[in-house]
Amino acid sequence: MPHNVVLITGAGGWLGGLLAHALIDDAQTPDVKLILVDIVQPKTPQDANAIALQADLTDPAQVDRLFETQFGVPDTVYCLHGIMSRGSEDNFDLGVKVNVDSVRSVLDAARHAGQRSGTVIKFVFTSSLAVYGGPLPAVVTPDTIATPQGAYGMAKLVDEIFINEYTRRGFVDGRILRLPTIVVRPGPPSAATSAFVSGIIREPLRGIEATCPIGDSLDSPMLDALALWVASPETTIRNFVLAKHVPAEKFLPHTRVVCLPGFTTTVREEIAALEQVAGREAVERIRFQDDPTNRRLVSSWPARFDNSYALSLGFAVDEGGMVPIVRRFKEQLLGGEL
């Protein structure tokens, strides 16, 4: 019977923090013990039964020690850490070291710790729609071949192949989640190519200027042309927790990849939602500065997926488009929650 010890790498990040709180509240993970790890020591949720550790995950010896804490061997690993998309594109070697080599180290540590304890550890990995590129069908399905056109997507696809193989061999019980672009993210802009997707909502709602790297003005046709596959933070975290509970036999027999549910929006529709929630004054805080590298990377990602398989596994999807997401973020800002 699982003893509900969960290891989260990248726990110092925004999603890792939200996941920790969600697992504490999860009725299917009672009395959870959390091992929270990042390059900078993460904060522990108040009143949580948690260990917070600083570790360099590119060092296999430090990774191995994560499976030897007083909590014992984790039954579930959430592998969330990584160098973001634009960061790994600009520094290829660092991106491979963190996004491939360190993930392999965590996989191997999970494999060997599980073998020593006689268990198969669940390994939940956050992948990305950046694994796609090149000519794509109008709607991506589970059968669509992934051909990344950036270093970040390449690394994620390599990790996916390893996790699928480790799962096939019974080394781990892999669950690979290809994430939509998550909007709206709080905090300062990240090194993600898609950071502007949140920035053009977040900054104007805070009363400060934002830069949109798509198009050179509000009248640019690029704002209509660039479609995005997105999901809210709340739905994404709910799906992270759900991923832990999907019975192994429900996945397709040849792959553990699941494209998490999302919906399609455009940069123009994002801005329209901002105006509907916060008025024209908020829209006027957006400055346009076209970035060809950014535009190329984001444009290579698909914007329409068939949600059927993910929904059949019990995953959730946002309803109502961008307006409720923008409105909820505004309410969180006003309520001091962010």
In angstroms, what is the C-alpha Rg of the chain? 20
The answer to whether 131 and 156 are in contact (CB under 8 A) is yes
Residue 243 main-chain phi, psi, to 5 deg: -60, -30
Q: Which amino acid is at 47?
A: D
Joined together, the tokens standing for residue 108 give 């191997």
Cα 218–chain centre separation:
29
How far CA 94 is from CA of 63, 151, 155, 226, in Å, comes to: 18, 11, 11, 29
Residue 218 main-chain phi, psi, to 5 deg: -65, -20
Residues in Cβ contact with 334 at an 8 Å cutoff, skipping those fewer than 6 apart: none
Catalytic residue from among 78, 132, 152, 166: 152
309 catalytic residue (yes or no): no
The answer to whether 284 and 192 are in contact (CB under 8 A) is no
In the block, tokens 């096939």 appear at 168
Report d(CA 324, CA 317) in Å as an integer.
13
DSSP H or E run through 266: strand 263-266
Q: Given the DSSP bridges, would you call strands 173-179 and 122-128 parallel, antiparallel or unpaired?
A: parallel
Residue 292, number of CB atoms within 10 A of its CB? 8
212: number of CA atoms within 13 Å, CB side? 26
Q: Which letter does DSSP use for residue 230 in this model?
A: E
> What residues are labeled active site?
152
